[in-house]
Structure 1
Amino acid sequence: FGEKMVKLWQHSSLSPISRLGTAFTALSHDGKEAKPYILIAAGLNETCLFDVSRSLCRQCFRVLDPSLSYVDQISLPPSCLSMPVLHDIPIPSDSRRRMYGIYDAVNRMINDRFTPPEPNIQSISGRIGATGSNYIMTGGTDGYIRYWDLATASKCYTVSGLVTTQPRPIYESVDFVGATGSTVCPSKLFLCRQMPMPKLDEMESCKVPQKLHRGLVRPENHHKDAVLDLKKIDSPIKGLLSCSRDGVIKLWR
């Protein structure tokens, strides 16, 4: 690798980017043509898959605030239904102008950046390829581990993070169809509706003793702190390793 920077982008959230992943493959609607993809964890509890050949977000995986869990999709705030953007930052061709231009661009990024939103994604793992099932798994400062299927929301689920009496989240998707030149570029937004903890008088009677810790209570197995890394293992058993900020490592099967 040389010292010459050939491309510069800025994520539209202006927030720190905590994780990157890369793939060079052909996804659905790409035909047989492989494209460069970057998986970016940035913004408020979301991860996005960008086709960097067109600076286009093809898929976004977003967790909604619990206060929006029961809001109809059509009534959600525009920020919840918009796709993030990678802004191209021009790099001057002249070497002297290039040096000062890059300095100014990076300086603006530093001055304009936001503090990390909470919660945010701290770890990503998965598989993105031309054949087979494509998925990503995310872990974040909320202590949750989520599985996102790139094809359909019905196959997405929460691996860990829910307490015993907490309702299961609902996953749904929104399809977008854009165009760059003469090419149709479909994009998909996945939403996770994380249901809030019900009040005592809203719970099913069979779950009240668990809520009040009466009798035998199954121990919780989720992380108590931010999930910082995820690793898939295939041998000697198939599973998932996760680690959190409090020094805990868990193996999931």
Structure 2
Amino acid sequence: MSNTHWDPTRYGLFGNERQRPAIDLIARLPKAADGFAPRHIVDLGCGPGNVTSLLANAYPGTSADPVKVVGVDSSAEMIETAKKRPEAIEWQTDDIASWEPDEQVDLLFSNAALHWVPDHSKLFPRLLRFVRPGGLLAIQVPNNFLAPSHQLMGEAGLDWPKEVAKAMHAARIMRPGDYFDAMAPACDDIDLWQTQYCHVLSGSDPVYHWVSSTALRPVIAALPDDEARAKFTEKYKTRLLQVYPPRDDGRTLFPFNRLFMIARKRPE
């Protein structure tokens, strides 16, 4: 995952909407009543720690037997923001593409982060090695790369086709069946599903502000100078407003597809 600058404040815009997929993924996880009581949880690509906090609340443990919860992110800015949270969570700055735990974990969780890491056919078997037998791998990644919000980046960047095309491929995922094949040799229970959210956004240029903190970052960084960035941004915002126009009440609907997976590592 890129170690370039991430802005926690900008990323935190539309916080409630951004957290919905994580909330849904956590809700789908088994809890103590189902016989699942993890003692060691890692949130890989934790960002500013909001979702890590939700995980800690979902598996609170006790004062006599606390659950070890670790948040890992490559962005020092994100980790500094996370460290201001009140929960007893261990925060680590590390590249999630090469991260390894000191010991196997019970729940390895990642929300909207692993699409920045290449070669998932090798990454997912590697991550499963870090999960104890009977433990869970729980992942959510965006699956919106064919949506207008993404494709219009290429249209706005026609003056810099090579740079923009390369940057747009910085984030990639596989087909659902490919994930199943990557995890099946080590797992005996795999749950895959897709959800389309219809986010209700407020403010001016809301779709632009949504993507500017995520998928648009490598594209803007790839442009040669400030003049190019200004020209690109003007074209991109104009096209976004045409495809995602505000409603009469000023709000904008932004459909967004996401892919979820929960896999249980086969017990020994």
TM-score band by shorter chain is under 0.3
Higher strand share: 1
> Higher Cα Rg: structure 1 or 2?
1
TM value normalised by structure 1: 0.26
| Higher RCO, 1 vs 2 (CA within 8 Å, ≥6 residues apart) | 2
